[in-house]
Each structure stands twice: as structure tokens, then as C-alpha cells.
Structure 1
Amino acid sequence: MSRTPPTGQATPNRRRRQAARAASRRRRRWGWIATTATVLAIAATITVVRLANHTTASSAPASATSGHPAPDGQFTTVSGATMTVASLRGRPTLLWFVATWCPSCQAGTPAVAHEFPRLRANNVRVVEIEMYQDLGQPGPSIADFGKNLAGALYGDPDWIFGTSSADLTYAYNPKSYTDIYFLLDTNGRITYTDGEPAGSMTTLLEQVDKLA
């Protein structure tokens, strides 16, 4: 004669079914995580491959070094205007390529904001550009990035935020560094290049002073 288990106790069969359902839920959860990671990795790879395939004359890698004219190329400002690097001639410019998810870029923007009065005193304009498709990783828009990190200087006419074309990103950053900048003189010639301005600010300002 079978016995009914006391109230609140599960039969062995019920416990096995509950364990099986829990294991199934765990497998589905880990499967979703693995799928998401795979999709992100594929997106990043596609972006890097696209950049590597941009080897047109406008993106010849020979130019983006100190002492050479800055390669031309297009970028789009947060207001929707299309600009070119060539159009920046006539004023010294800090041309800075960033990834919005990059920690050094997030630290560098407030550092540049802190020294902005000195840059302006030397007539240096800042052009901070999100690299093509943010180098294939998810991050905030360049507009949100600028609003949050540049503070009251976001929207200043001497600090332009925008997004880069693929050709422009490849011309200046074929190795896909997350944080790289170029100091241009009034003639559009590169006088200095480095990255992570939060850490290289002292040298950058010394180079800025030489432009005066």
C-alpha cells in the first residue's frame, strides 16, 4: 500500500522533474550569454576587417605622422554637418579620435576640458571624433559622451564633436588604437601625435605652446 508524502515534501519523481527544469533554464541562460558574446565578437571583427579593407588613396597610411600634411577625409558633426580635415586649416587643431566606451577617452575628455582655457589662449580648436562604428564595440553616442564628460563646454564652437567615416578612421588609425590624437598647425601639418591626453597632457601643452 503506497504512502502519501507529508504535506510540503516532494516525491522523488517531482524532485527529479524540478531539477531537470532548473538545469534546462540554466542551459538556456548560458546559451543566451554565449550567443550575445559571439555576436559582439563577430561585430568587432567585421568592423576591423572593414577598416583594414579601406586602402584607397585618400587613406594612404604614409601621411598620418608628425611632419607630414594631415590626410584629408570626412567626418560628421553632432549637428549633422559634414566636414573635412582640410577645412580645419587656418587654425591649430587638436584632432582626437576616440572610442566612446574607452576608459582613457572617458578620462581624457574632462582633462581636456580642464585645460581648455589654455588651448583656447593658443587659438587651438579641439575636434573630438568617434571612430568608425566605435571600433565595433557598444558605447554611448558621441553626443551623449560629450554632454556627460565635457560639461558646459559641450556645444562650444571651439570644441567640435563628431563621428568619423571609415576612410578617415583608417587613414589616422590603421591599427585600431582606442585613443589617439594629432596636433595640427595652421597649415594642416601634423606637429605632434600621441594618445590618452589625461596622461600625456603636460607634453601636449608644451607642444601647443610651440605653435604660438
Structure 2
Amino acid sequence: MEETKIFLITYFAALLGVVPPGLVNMSVAKTCVKRGKKNGIYMAFGASFIVLLQAALAIMLARYIFDNTYINNVLLRAGLVIFLIMMFYFLLMAQRKRKEVEVTPTSGFRSILKGMMIGVLNIFPIPFFVALAAALNVHGDIEYHLLNNTAFVLAASLGTFTTLYLYALFFAKIEAEGTYFARYSNYFMAALMLILVVITFIRIFSQ
């Protein structure tokens, strides 16, 4: 029963945590418009695999990271640098002159690797799952042995994949009308990176 409780809570927390527009889900949406639904799903799979590793890392380090200000600051500063670099990258990509946007399928393996790369750049799941692991064990009555840890990690990955898969389906359905999104997606992504930079900056100096 304890494993089921951990799985369900973590699954729905991960599912809902990816619903707001963010780096990973908007990258999946952009891939669906430019490369087709199949590549968007492959990318979602790659990103979800990285979430599995991030959740595993988070649950192992939860007892140390949650109360360690130094590690929190290191993670936040690393995220700040990454988001700044990506913001300028998307701005540069947006300035490039483009021909009429067309769906150009690529190999599934390449899309999986791209999803894994985006997942690695997105460090927010680590503190999210650390906080979730700590919240699940707030009374100290849950033992994180192998079975519980496996339930937590699988639920985190599957919950993330569920939402990303729905993003892929949604944007695939409007693919025929996706020219506007594809044309201005780099500006949107740059604006998103700026928002993440501001949020991260505030979090760094509010601790």
C-alpha cells in the first residue's frame, strides 16, 4: 500500500508539474509542429528518461539538498547561466531568415537524443522532486527502500511522459494551422527563458 501511495502521489504531481508552459513541453510542441507528431513523442520519451534519472538523484539526495543552502545556490546559479545562454540562442535562431515552414521528419533516435539534451538542461525537476520526496516523508514514517524508490522514480517519469504525450497530440492536431507558432516559436522560447532567468535570479537573492 505504501508503494501505491507513493506512486500515485508522485505520478499526479509530475503530471501536473509539467502542464504549465516550460522548456521541455514547449520544445516538444515546437518539434511536433516542425518535425511531426512521431518525433515529438520520441522527444517526450527522451526527456522523460532524463526525468527518471533526475528523480532517482533527487530521492537519494533529498535529505541533504533540502536543508543545504550551498547546494541549492549552486543549482540555481547553474540554471541561471543555462537559461541565459539558451535565451540568446533562441533570439539568434529567431533572427535567421526562414522559408515557408514545412514539416520535416527526422530520425526517431535523433529526436530522443534531443529530448534527453533538453531534459538535462532543465534542472528544475531536481529541486521539485527533492521537495516532493521530503513532503511525502514529512512525518518520518516512510522508509525509502528499493521498492519505494522505484515506485517514486517510475511515477515521476511516467507522469512527465503522460503530459508531454498530451502536448504532442494537441499540437499534432493543429499542425496544419501551426505555421504561426512555428514561425514565432523561437521568440516565445526566448521570452520563456527570460522569465526563467528572472525567477531564478529572484530565488537566488531571496534565500
When normalised by structure 2's length, the TM-score is: 0.26
When normalised by structure 1's length, the TM-score is: 0.25
Of Structure 1 and Structure 2, the greater strand share is in 1
* Greater gyration radius: 1
Of Structure 1 and Structure 2, the greater helix share is in 2
